[in-house]
Amino acid sequence: MNLSLNWLSEFVPGAKEIDAKSYCDRMTDTGSKVEGYDVLANDIENVKVARVTSMTRHENSDHLWVCQCDIGDRTVQIVTGAQNVFEGAIVPACVAPAKLPGGVSIKAGKLRGVESNGMLCSINELGLTEHDMPGANDKGILILGEEFADKVGCDIKDALMLRDTVVEFEITSNRPDCLSVIGLARESAVSFDLPLQLHTPVVKGSGDSVKNYLAVTDEAPDLCFRYTARVVKNVKIAPSPLWLRMRLRAEGVRPINNIVDITNYVMLEYGQPMHAFDYACLDGSEIIVRRAGENELFRSLDDKDHTLDPSMLVIADSKKAVALAGVMGGANSEITESTKTVVFESASFLGSSVRVSAKKLGMRTESSSRFEKGLDPENTLPALERACELVELLEAGEVVDGIIDLYPTKKAAVTLPLDADRINRFIGVDLTKEYMAEILRKLEFKVSDDLSELTPPSFRSDIECIQDVAEEIIRIYGYNRLESTYIGGTMTRGGRTPRQALEAKLAPTMAALGFDEIQTFSFISPKYYEKIRLPEAQRRSVVISNPLGEDTSVMRTTALPSMLEVLARNDNFSNEKARLWELASVYIPHENREELPDEKKLITVGMYDNCSFYTLKGVCEKLFELFGILGVTYTARTDDPSYHPGRCAEAIAPDGTCLGVLGQVHPAVTNNYGFTREVFCAELDLPAMFAHINHTPEYSPLPKFPAITRDFSFVCDDELEVGKIEEVMSRAGGKLVESVRLFDVYRGQQLGEGKKSVSMRVTLRAADRTLTVEEADKASQKILNALNAQLGIGLRG
Amino acid sequence: MRELLEKIRADAKAQLSDNDADIEALRVRYLGKKGELTAVLRGMGKLSAEERPLIGQLANEVRADIEAAIEERRQEMQERLLELKLKKEKIDVTLPAEGELGHIHPLTMTQRELEDIFIGLGFSIVEGPEVELDYYNFQALNIPENHPARDTQDTFYITDNILLRSQTSPVQVRTMEKQKPPIRIISPGRVYRSDAVDATHSPLFHQLEGLVVDKGISMGDLKGVLELFAKQTFGEETRIRFRPHHFPFTEPSAEVDVSCFACGGKGCRICKGEGWIEILGAGMVHPNVLRNCGIDPDVYSGFAFGFGIERIAMLKYHIDDMRLLYENDTRFLGEF
């Protein structure tokens, strides 16, 4: 909402004395947030109203004129190239040195040898348009007409009423009353403790009776609370006077003609959208407020066609809809140059209904955005009267006597107790009841004589409870006068849950392991599933019905594509090495679309350059250890289409649950991301990890007796997994086996194709005695026997 | 014989070389079983009883002397060898180190710091679903269907009733439904709004909201908590300013500014000359919201506040483009 301070001063004369900056600061402090202000015509300097007293041809040019211009106290010579200037014309003249909008400065000089002490101006050069100055055009100099005869010598900013300061407010949705000059005048008066001088419109009338013209029926009183209308006859459509045009211009509204300008002027002043119909277009001389028919067709003022439905409210005559209530008028009843009789409508509609109609039809208008916030039915009549008063003032037509006013149910006013103690406790202040009452009365609340009860004014439908009243008091008293206190009451323990604490350890641990943490969007393109070759069956996702674009249209069920995107981006940036991880949420859709998905967090790890599967496995093992998950085993996984079939594993908890997948990303997948190098990724399931924590730190005594170690070297098939050998050895050695550890794998020509040599060290120990060599030999033999029996391998010869 | 011994002493010492083998040969030659000194000692039987102990003593002295000289020379050689070895082992200490520390994402760092501030004030951390019911995101928060306030948060919808939460406030509602006051929680997490990506907007960002509900909670308490938060986050000198505002779920509501930590309030580039930086929204929990969660607003009161973690992180680390946070360029991440 823009507010002209000139306009404001009409209602709050004292506002003139306040400088713009202080005005804005205080208004913000009391709840009408100022976004900024603009001093209009600030960039125009030394432009005067001048009369061209004589014109002669330029001696060196066939199109230039040398004008002698009377600027009141003297005459200046100005050379112009315009051809519409004539002797005796009243024009705006820059008197050098002068300034014009757009940083133009005009200096005295010579034009083809003839002295010119300024410039005659067009509307464009003054920053005006044809709408602001009807009849003028940009092809020539602005000719001001004889009504400016007594203004010769005046500053153009005064003559054209260009001086104003416009303050831009951000009005919150609960205060539609402040989307008006009067509403902001009210707030200004209270904020600065200045008198508010409101005006009651007076309409003289011209006899006749509205009943001779119009009958109105409200068939939908649930959507239309009040409908008021008056008729104006013998309308003379013409431009509005300068003062009115300049008011509209300051507010950023384009002047059109007197009738349309009046509806806009009243909307800005009262905050009440109005509509004007051409009476001649109303069939049956009646207006019916009704719900639209199913598939009823309607062409709006802007010549767009709409198909309506019964949830929408229309203003109709006996045959057709002539307006979409509160949104826009119809093309079929628009005010034109030839309009003779006008019906002014000022009504109150249900906000949510206007909002739904406007939204469904994609036509948010100045009018609908006001109505949807809920307007005061009490304001309709004053606004209507003001419009008619302006008609008479502008001599735009004759107002027919009589008012149509359908107001079936007046909304009951809310009465609230003025509980000063509770308000003081709630806010943390100590104000007297009298002080509270004073503020409320200034805000036009009714406060009972004994100060026990209050009633908000009709335009404050946002006041519903004592908390609302508290806010009114405290915003005028000053939010910033509140003393800071510290929460009393019951102590609370606070802190992180054990899981949250563990989760919080991830970032520092991963950092210590050399990994940078990333954060990626939770929504992805469905095409990303293709890129990682995710099986069709696993692609079902939570789909956003109104996404910004395809790239962000589904909630991811895997965080692998996000990780690969980031890795590829870093590769593109020529970042040599990447060690990345993310704590990433994924969203697994429920079978029923109306149920919320299962949201879970994954740890994704991704890396390239100077790393291998075992680097990645090391990271996973450390994370399992951090969490206290013991006994994780790794099983080769050959069928995950995102991973290299020979370099991928599942991490398996002792109970068989899969805790995650890790491996080299399939070359076909890395290729999809434009990689030419090996990339390794892991995806670990955080909830599964939480569920498998099976170790809490506890002391167990260190061994008291020495261990015996035995080394074994075997030759076996390359295909045989060391993990399998380890498992057989551990089991066969029984209780005495403390550890089985690989210390060498060797492949070489002398072993033969497809063979490898594996060397393992077994540590044997008894907790209660020193092992004898015999015992160790016996255990070793058992191990060898088992290897031979179960895997068919023996000691290397 | 005395002369012979002295000669052996002098010869042996003179012949000490720097070669390990030579030294050993020298030792054998003079001190060995068949060595010269041993030979001399064998001839001692011929000496008189008076002379014998004297010569014996001298012979022992000579032996000890030679042994000491040999030992000393060996020691010297070892030291010289070690010196030589160490010299060879010299490395270039300016070569790069192995292994690197990784980096915590600036958003995580900021979130942890903020969490820790409120944990210190007795707050718990509560999380909730990001794909949320309209009821929790809007209706329970006093924003019925077709309320104009819905416009200020352009929301992504899944179905008519399911959406991507546009704020973390649904977590507050879920908490109040389950837990009786006193409640003192923060809810950090991802939220979604239909804003195109640019330097200051992102369709996904992080919020941290706080909620306190108990008997006798006042707006002064809200101001006190926010003042503590501001000072801990932006420095001891920081002041806060409340501006009246409207949120459907709080009454009274405020937008809260902090004094510019860069210029102290004088006005600079960071605060766009204002001296203040808008940082969060806050207010006293609306009685309708309490009632919707089964808490009696005539008995309990509370306050709530919320801010964007990105905004705080960007201010704290002078990040001028929000896109950097989600681009994850390791050069950027490495700066934290």
A470 vs B220: CB contact, 8 Å cut-off?
A: no
* Structural domain includes residue A258: yes
Q: Is the pLDDT of residue A648 over 90?
A: yes
Q: How far apart are CA B330 and CA B332, in angstroms?
A: 5
Q: Please report which confidence band the pLDDT of residue A22 belongs to, taking 50, 70 and 90 as the band edges.
A: very high
Q: Please report which confidence band the pLDDT of residue A84 belongs to, taking 50, 70 and 90 as the band edges.
A: very high
Q: Is the pLDDT of residue B144 over 90?
A: no
Q: What's the pLDDT score for residue B152?
A: 64
A522 vs B130: CB contact, 8 Å cut-off?
A: yes
A516 vs B103: CB contact, 8 Å cut-off?
A: yes
What does the pLDDT average to over A360-371? 92
Residue A686, min C-alpha distance to chain B (Å): 15
Neighbours of B76 (CB within 10 A): 12
Do A141 and A42 touch, CB atoms closer than 8 A? Answer: no
A512 vs B327: CB contact, 8 Å cut-off?
A: no
Nearest CA in chain B to A564: B328
Candidates A175, A489, A548; nearest CB to B216: A489
- Please give the interface size between A and B, counted as residue pairs whose CB atoms are below 8 Å apart: 249
Q: How far apart are CA A638 and CA A648, in angstroms?
A: 7
**CATH code: domain of residue A745:** 3.30.70.380
Q: Please report which confidence band the pLDDT of residue B15 belongs to, taking 50, 70 and 90 as the band edges.
A: confident
Same-domain pairing of A384 and A465: no
Beta bridge partners of B243: B255
DSSP string, A119-171: EE--TGGGT--TTTSTT--TTSPPP--GGGGGGTTSBHHHHTT---EEEEEE-
Beta bridge partners of A780: none
From A637, A662, A691, give the residue that closes a domain.
A691
Q: Is the pLDDT of residue A62 over 90?
A: no
What does the pLDDT average to over B60-77? 90
Q: What's the pLDDT score for residue A452?
A: 95
B203 vs A546: CB contact, 8 Å cut-off?
A: no
Longest dimension (CA), chain A: 133
Q: Is the pLDDT of residue B75 over 80?
A: yes
Q: Is the pLDDT of residue B153 over 70?
A: no
Q: What's the pLDDT score for residue B213?
A: 97
The answer to whether the predicted template modeling score (pTM) of the entire model surpasses 0.90 is no
β-bridge pairing A342-349 and A224-233: antiparallel
What does the pLDDT average to over A613-636? 96
Q: How far apart are CA A670 and CA A681, in angstroms?
A: 11
What does the pLDDT average to over A135-147? 88
Candidates B190, B192, B251; nearest CB to A468: B251
Q: Tell me the domain boundaries of chain B.
A: 2-88, 106-333
Longest dimension (CA), chain B: 133
Give contacts of A492 with chain B, Cβ < 8 Å.
122-124, 182, 184
Helices A498-512 and A613-627, axial angle in degrees (round to 10)? 150
Q: Residue ranges of the alpha helices (H) in A628-734?
A: 667-672, 686-691, 722-733
Q: What's the pLDDT score for residue B26?
A: 86
What does the pLDDT average to over A159-171? 95
Q: What is the pLDDT of chain A when averaged over all its residues?
A: 94
Same-domain pairing of A423 and A567: no
CA A148 to chain centre: 48
CA angle A648, A653, A655 (to 5 degrees): 130
**CATH code: domain of residue A464:** 3.30.56.10
CA distances from A617 to A561, A605, B284 (A): 20, 11, 51
Q: Is the pLDDT of residue A77 over 90?
A: yes
Short-list B190, B210, B191, B215, CA closest to B281: B210
Q: How far apart are CA B216 and CA A427, in angstroms?
A: 10
A781 contact partners, CB below 8 Å, separation of at least 6: none
CA A590 to chain centre: 29
Judged on CB neighbours under 10 Å (0-12, 13-18, 19+), B91 is exposed
CA angle A25, A26, A28 (to 5 degrees): 70
Give backbone dihedrals phi and psi of A444, rounded to 5 degrees, phi first.
70, 25
Same-domain pairing of A379 and A393: yes
A589 upstream amide cis, omega within 30 of 0: no
Per-residue pLDDT reduced to its tens digit, A530-549: 999 999 988 999 999 999 99
Beta bridge partners of A764: A708, A737
Q: Please report which confidence band the pLDDT of residue A170 belongs to, taking 50, 70 and 90 as the band edges.
A: very high
Q: Please report which confidence band the pLDDT of residue B50 belongs to, taking 50, 70 and 90 as the band edges.
A: confident
**CATH code: domain of residue A112:** 2.40.50.140
Same-domain pairing of A371 and A502: no
Per-residue pLDDT reduced to its tens digit, A252-280: 999 999 999 999 999 999 999 999 999 99
* Structural domain includes residue A198: no
- Residue whose pair of structure tokens reads 């915003």 in the numeric block: A475
Q: What is the pLDDT of chain B when averaged over all its residues?
A: 92
How many Cα atoms sit within 13 Å of A701 on the Cβ side? 5
Candidates A372, A475, A544; nearest CB to B158: A544
Same-domain pairing of A325 and A398: yes
Q: How far apart are CA B303 and CA B223, in angstroms?
A: 10
- Min mean pLDDT across A346-350, A681-685, A790-794 is at A790-794
Q: How far apart are CA A583 and CA A559, in angstroms?
A: 9
Domain B106-333 belongs to what topology?
A: BirA Bifunctional Protein; domain 2 (3.30.930)
B251 vs A467: CB contact, 8 Å cut-off?
A: yes
Short-list A270, A150, A568, A80, CA closest to B330: A568
Give contacts of B182 with chain A, Cβ < 8 Å.
489-490, 492
Q: Into how many domains does chain A fold?
A: 6
Q: Please report which confidence band the pLDDT of residue A490 belongs to, taking 50, 70 and 90 as the band edges.
A: confident
Best to test chain B binding among A30, A485, A523, A579 (most B CBs inside 10 Å): A485
Q: What's the pLDDT score for residue A622?
A: 97
B103 vs A513: CB contact, 8 Å cut-off?
A: no
Per-residue pLDDT reduced to its tens digit, A176-189: 999 999 999 999 99
Q: Please report which confidence band the pLDDT of residue A492 belongs to, taking 50, 70 and 90 as the band edges.
A: confident
Q: What's the pLDDT score for residue A51?
A: 96
Give contacts of A352 with chain B, Cβ < 8 Å.
145-147
A488 vs B216: CB contact, 8 Å cut-off?
A: yes
Residue B238, min C-alpha distance to chain A (Å): 14
* Structural domain includes residue A488: no
B102 vs A517: CB contact, 8 Å cut-off?
A: yes
Give contacts of B297 with chain A, Cβ < 8 Å.
467
What does the pLDDT average to over B224-233? 95
How many Cα atoms sit within 13 Å of A210 on the Cβ side? 20
How many Cα atoms sit within 13 Å of A198 on the Cβ side? 17
Same-domain pairing of A468 and A509: no
DSSP string, B193-210: -----SSS--SEEEEEEE
Domain of residue A524: give its range.
Answer: 498-691
Q: How far apart are CA A695 and CA A709, in angstroms?
A: 28
Same-domain pairing of A373 and A433: no
CA angle A712, A717, A719 (to 5 degrees): 115
Nearest CA in chain A to B254: A479
Candidates B146, B254, B329; nearest CB to A570: B329
Same-domain pairing of A173 and A122: no
Nearest CA in chain B to A492: B122
Beta bridge partners of B157: B163
Give contacts of B130 with chain A, Cβ < 8 Å.
522, 585, 587, 599
